[in-house]
Structure 1
């Protein structure tokens, strides 16, 4: 079988990734719609809602970020599989923000804090996968981010490890507040245009 040109592979890969990312966005939007439809069903939480906002932004940013794959010349099943696993990690993070049933918990914050090991374990993986994803896109893409990338990833993973360990509400609120500000800053400084 002849090798398919990269220009034909990229749309196929984006479609498969798009299905998983679309499911994650749907999960978050359905959860938010449920909060509007049934505001008294479960107690809402600033920590939870800020992570929902961050996750929505992360998914949209991921979709934009992955457009750089169009430049990739050498595709393999390993790269394809890696990208699918990356999107599955994002989907699982989104799913952990809106469980199917909250009857065992005292609202969204209680659920989030009790399941924080899963969420922040996946979030730490997300940081690691982000580095690998950037390497896949080539040296020029890697160089574009400079030293900030070397600082962002270790700090992010460290914060995730602390978040796994502690249930301190102030820590979790500070973490998501600072992370969301940084996330918006990162996107507008480095990804406002695509080059």
Structure 2
């Protein structure tokens, strides 16, 4: 099973690695772009909040995939494709959130608002995949055992996505991003992220 797991995780590692690389290099490029003399409005609390959320989401995703070692049943192509699609959803969040070419961006908020429908669609997809991923590791008992904040974030994703797509106000978008980011970070650290082998207790 361990050999199977390592084989399965190779492609997923590449996808998540590319996503994190894109996100971090994009942040560094944004800092450089913001120092240009043409005074672009690159700094954005909205972008920073979502970038923080997506970064910790990817780290959290990678951390807990170790629990797949305890998954009952054999690996199938469908299970493999599901985990890949989950990682692709996270990659999509990172790519939509951070532009590839900062030179073409004058105001980050305008860029975000222009692409917000795609971003929030990917956010909803990733959230649904996260619940399914937890269920895959241990059924509904595992899902409920992830903690109240984790389940609260999963439920709140639906109204967050609806508001995010519908609202054209930066202030509303920023408030929604701040609430979601805080709750998400609490959820990440609420469920003690200790890496242990399946069947072992700490």
Q: What TM-score do the two structures reach when normalised by structure 1?
A: 0.88
The residue number in structure 2 matching 1:158 is 159
The residue number in structure 1 matching 2:185 is 184
Greater mean deviation of Cα atoms: 134-143 or 57-66: 134-143
RMSD over aligned Cα, in angstroms? 1.9
Greater mean deviation of Cα atoms: 118-127 or 38-47: 38-47
The residue number in structure 1 matching 2:200 is none
Give, in angstroms, the shift of residue 73 of structure 1. Answer: 3.5
In structure 2, C-alpha distance between the alignment counterparts of 1:111 and 1:56, rounded to whole Å: 19
SS state of the match for residue 34, structure 2?
Answer: coil
In structure 2, C-alpha distance between the alignment counterparts of 1:36 and 1:106, rounded to whole Å: 13
Alignment of 1:126-141 (within 5 A): 126-139=126-139, 140-141=141-142
Alpha carbons of 1:35 and 1:102: their partners in 2 closer, same or farther (altered >3 Å)? closer
Structure 2: tracts of 5 or more residues without a match: 197-202
Per-residue CA deviation, residues 126-163 of structure 1 (Å, 9 max, x unaligned), is: 11111111111123422413565554323212211110
The residue number in structure 1 matching 2:110 is 110
The residue number in structure 2 matching 1:23 is 18
Q: Aligned residue pairs: how many?
A: 190
* 1:34 corresponds to which of 29, 38, 44: 29
In structure 2, C-alpha distance between the alignment counterparts of 1:102 and 1:110, rounded to whole Å: 13
Q: Are the equivalent residues in 2 in contact too, given 1:102–1:111 (CA < 8 A)? A: no
Q: Are the equivalent residues in 2 in contact too, given 1:27–1:95 (CA < 8 A)? A: yes
Q: Are the equivalent residues in 2 in contact too, given 1:121–1:161 (CA < 8 A)? A: no
Alpha carbons of 1:151 and 1:57: their partners in 2 closer, same or farther (altered >3 Å)? closer
Structure 1: tracts of 5 or more residues without a match: 1-5
The residue number in structure 2 matching 1:173 is 174
